[in-house]
Amino acid sequence: RKEVEQDPGPFNVPEGATVAFNCTYSNSASQSFFWYRQDCRKEPKLLMSVYSSGNEDGRFTAQLNRASQYISLLIRDSKLSDSATYLCVVNIAFIDTDKLIFGTGTRLQVFP
Amino acid sequence: GAVVSQHPSWVICKSGTSVKIECRSLDFQATTMFWYRQFPKQSLMLMATSNEGSKATYEQGVEKDKFLINHASLTLSTLTVTSAHPEDSSFYICSASPGGQPLPNTEAFFGQGTRLTVV
């Protein structure tokens, strides 16, 4: 089983739509959680951290359920510029260092 | 925000040759840097953890003699793909965090990535 699992998509949605991505992780030693955005052939960039209480940043809302080991990202009022791959990322503490473990990503395509 | 610079952004090399990729933290010191590889439509896979002044730590299945890592200063780590073969063609990307390791809730900054094509 992969440590971080995501639906690869693609999700094809019209402008203005609301879309939700889900992610599950298997390692209970996971300490912190993030959503990164990766555009085609580019490096990942942090979209937002995910906190247990849930957090919102403009049109983006992230939620974490530690009991179910589940993370979600909700995008409201989708824009064309939201088209990208969204990576669910988990920070796991190992003996010698922390490591970021990436999901395969969910591809979003917003059309006019 | 913090900047990590990676060079070159793309390289084409002949099979059997070696390729060096540089990763620099431009405005912070990084005792630890991370090297990832990403094949098309797949996730970033951690290859190794680069430690300043000591040996790199490689993930299971990554050949340390093939992927040489040197972290000689607090702002520079290099990855050398030795005797490259077509199956090594991939997107290689480094990351670093101010303060060293990606502490909980600390953003990791990524280099621009290097697209390696071995012909």
Check residue B2 and give its pLDDT.
Answer: 67
Instruction: Name the more confident of B33 and B2.
Output: B33
Q: pLDDT tens digit string along B38-62?
A: 998 888 999 999 888 888 999 999 9
Q: pLDDT tens digit string along A30-84?
A: 888 999 999 988 999 999 999 888 899 999 999 999 999 999 999 999 999 999 9
Which residues fall within 8 angstroms of residue B23, CB to CB, at 6 or more apart? B4, B5, B6, B33, B35, B50, B76, B77, B78, B79, B94, B96, B111
Nearest to A43 among B45, B101, B112 (CB): B112
Token look-up 């395509």 returns A109
Token look-up 């070696």 returns B18
Q: What average pLDDT does range A7-31 have in this prediction?
A: 92
Q: pLDDT tens digit string along B15-35?
A: 999 999 999 999 888 888 999
Query: What whole-number distance in Å separates Cα of residue A34 and Cα of residue A36?
Result: 6
Check residue A11 and give its pLDDT.
Answer: 95
In a 3-state reduction of DSSP, which class is residue B89? Answer: coil
Q: How far is A76 from chain B (nearest CA, A)?
A: 24
B72: contact with A, CB 8 A cutoff: no
Check residue B15 and give its pLDDT.
Answer: 97
- B107–A46 CB contact, under 8 Å: yes
Q: pLDDT tens digit string along B70-115?
A: 998 989 999 999 999 999 999 999 998 776 555 555 678 899 999 9
Query: What is the number of other CB atoms lying within 10 angstroms of the CB of residue B6?
Result: 21
B107: contact with A, CB 8 A cutoff: yes
- Name the burial class of residue B4, with classes exposed (0-12), middle (13-18) and buried (19+) by CB atoms within 10 angstroms of its CB: buried
Structure tokens at B3: 């900047």
- A8–B115 CB contact, under 8 Å: no
* B-interface mutation test, from A100, A101, A106, most B Cβ less than 10 A away: A100
Which residues fall within 8 angstroms of residue B60, CB to CB, at 6 or more apart? none
Q: Are A61 and A35 in contact (CB under 8 A)?
A: no
